[in-house]
């Protein structure tokens, strides 16, 4: 599968740096890192489906929302323990998402993107009108059980989650399945013409993506201890996930992580100067310039620079 010693060395170095961070950075930075970790999980989840197969999902919060709401409802309304509610939430996301979105996998291009966007909006409306006694309606829910207390523990929890998601996705995408999924993104008809069932492959990509989104959503809601529908089913949230994956490098595992960290810190460091929505203007500008320099994202930019350096020495 083309695994080399330096792949593992790089992963170990990355894990080492992440776990050493609480010693060197402030609690405020740790809280920013926690959001970066969760954004990385969502961006990886999006990338498995959209970055690889080219089926651009604008409705990923729909999947994240299923996971988050399922676990929140189970713990808050039915006193389920977290150990049970989170796995159930992941399963519900996979099955529920599949039932609703599977027909959409038969349509291509911008139509798929529009359908997924419609599902997100639908979910936003539904949680408000259907059984608000369960979902908390427009106000959402608060006082949910939390997985950790304090910034440091939250950081370790979210880092473990992000690393587990990243490593398992990376290993899976290095198999021939990853090659086949990327091939769909390049030329779906040629994949079918190579004797592979494209619908089945897309379904696998979708299920894996939904699993990660459900897991991330459920754990995120139990990190925050609350859930609010407007924050979750928000177009800005969708764009942040997509831009994180694209800016870092879609179709790779490390790219969405780089993108998520870059975006989170960019927005955070701009906050003292631009507290309002103007920050998004800067971040849009930075994304635009990056795309113009390297459409394949920061990861490709780094890779090209390294190979240039290697050739020069």
Partner 1 sequence: MSAKLEIRNLVKRFGGLVATNDLTFTVEPGESVGLIGPNGAGKTTVFSQIMGEHRQTAGTIALDGREISKLSTPARIRAGVSRTYQVPRPFADMSVAENIRVGLMPDSVWQMISVGPDPARELELALAVGFSEDQLDRLPSELSMGDLRKLEMARTLATAPRLMLLDEVFAGLTVGEIAMISDVIQKMRGEGMTFLIVSHDLKALEPLVDRVVAINQGTLIADGSYDAVMADGAVRASYLGTA
Query: Residue 110 or 187: which CB sits closer to partner 1?
Result: 187
Q: How many CB atoms lie within 10 A of CB 306?
A: 10
Give the residue carrying structure tokens 């159930």.
88
Pick the closer one to partner 1 by CB: 203 or 228. Answer: 203
Helix (H) or strand (E) holding 163: helix 151-173
Q: How far is the CB of 181 from partner 1 (least distance, A)?
A: 10
By beta-carbon proximity to partner 1, the closer residue of 115 and 201 is 201
Positions that interact with partner 1 (CB under 8 A) = 1, 172, 175-177, 179-180, 182-183, 186-187, 189-197, 200-201, 204
Return the ∠ at Cα 237 (arms to 73 and 84), rounded to 5°.
Answer: 25
Report in angstroms how near the CB of residue 92 gets to partner 1 at its nearest. 22
In the complex, least distance from residue 196 CB atom to partner 1, rounded to whole angstroms: 5
- Give the separation between CA 116 and CA 198, rounded to whole angstroms: 19
Q: What contacts 248, CB < 8 A, 6 or more positions away?
A: 43, 254, 255, 256, 257, 258, 259, 260, 262, 297, 298, 299
Q: Do 53 and 205 contact (CB within 8 A), yes or no?
A: yes
Question: To the nearest whole angstrom, how small is the minimum distance from the Cβ of residue 189 to partner 1?
Answer: 7
User: Can you read off the two tokens belonging to residue 71?
Assistant: 């676990």
Sign of CA dihedral 25, 165, 57, 84: negative
Q: Do residues 240 and 39 make contact, with C-beta atoms less than 8 angstroms apart? A: yes
If the CB atoms of residues 3 and 277 are measured against partner 1, the closer one turns out to be 3
If you ran DSSP here, which 8-state letter would residue 8 be given?
Answer: H
Give the shortest CB-53-to-partner 1 separation in angstroms. 13
Q: Give me the least distance between CB of 173 and partner 1, in Å please.
A: 10
């Amino acid at each position: 599968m083309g695994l080399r010693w330096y792949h593992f060395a790089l992963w170990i170095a990355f894990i080492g740096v992440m776990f050493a961070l609480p010693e060197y950075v402030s609690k405020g930075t740790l809280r920013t890192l926690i959001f970066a970790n969760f954004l990385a999980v969502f961006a990886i989840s999006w990338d498995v489906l959209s970055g690889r197969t080219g089926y651009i999902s604008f409705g990923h919060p729909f999947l994240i929302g299923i996971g988050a709401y399922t676990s929140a409802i189970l713990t808050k309304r039915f006193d389920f323990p977290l150990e049970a509610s989170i796995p159930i939430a992941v399963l519900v996301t996979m099955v529920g998402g599949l039932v609703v979105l599977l027909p959409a996998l038969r349509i291509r291009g911008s139509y798929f993107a529009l359908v997924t966007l419609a599902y997100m909006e639908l979910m936003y409306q539904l949680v408000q009108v259907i059984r608000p006694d369960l979902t908390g309606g427009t106000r959402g829910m608060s006082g949910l059980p939390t997985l950790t207390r304090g910034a440091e523990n939250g950081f370790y929890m979210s880092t473990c989650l992000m690393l587990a998601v990243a490593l398992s996705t990376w290993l899976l995408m290095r198999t021939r399945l990853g090659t086949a999924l990327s091939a769909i993104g390049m030329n779906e008809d040629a994949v079918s013409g190579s004797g592979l069932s494209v619908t089945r492959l897309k379904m696998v990509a979708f299920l894996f993506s939904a699993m990660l989104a459900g897991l991330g959503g459920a754990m995120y809601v139990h990190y925050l201890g609350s859930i609010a529908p407007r924050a979750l089913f928000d177009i800005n949230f969708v764009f942040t996930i997509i831009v994180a994956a694209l800016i870092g490098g879609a179709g790779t595992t490390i790219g969405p992580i780089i993108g998520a960290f870059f975006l989170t810190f960019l927005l955070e460091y701009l906050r003292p100067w631009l507290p309002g929505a103007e920050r998004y203007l800067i971040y849009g500008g930075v994304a635009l310039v990056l795309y113009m320099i390297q459409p394949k994202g920061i990861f490709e930019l780094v890779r090209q620079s390294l190979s240039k350096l290697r050739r020069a020495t």
